[in-house]
Amino acid sequence: MPQNPLANINLTTATDEELERLKAMTDDELLRSAQTLDLFSVVESSRRLREALHKEERAIKWLTGVLVFLTLILIALGIEALRRT
């Protein structure tokens, strides 16, 4: 297996280009370059957190849509009730 040149990078002395290459790595590439189980768990927990936040974001958007729809119905019913009086 080829050695990843970024695997042994010192983050305090890394150049801007090296840091950008690190940021561009996918989760799988980060996991392959993780040399200990500690690093693996950090990458994996970050991935799981990002996944959970994405699911929560979708649920919030869906609920917001439902609330907007119900609000529009209430407004329409309120206008109709005002017209009758």
- Of residues 19 and 65, which shows the higher confidence score? 65
Which one has a higher pLDDT value, 53 or 42?
53
Integer Cα distance of 5 and 14 in angstroms:
12
pTM of this structure: 0.47
Residue 32 neighbours by CB under 8 Å, 6+ apart: 4
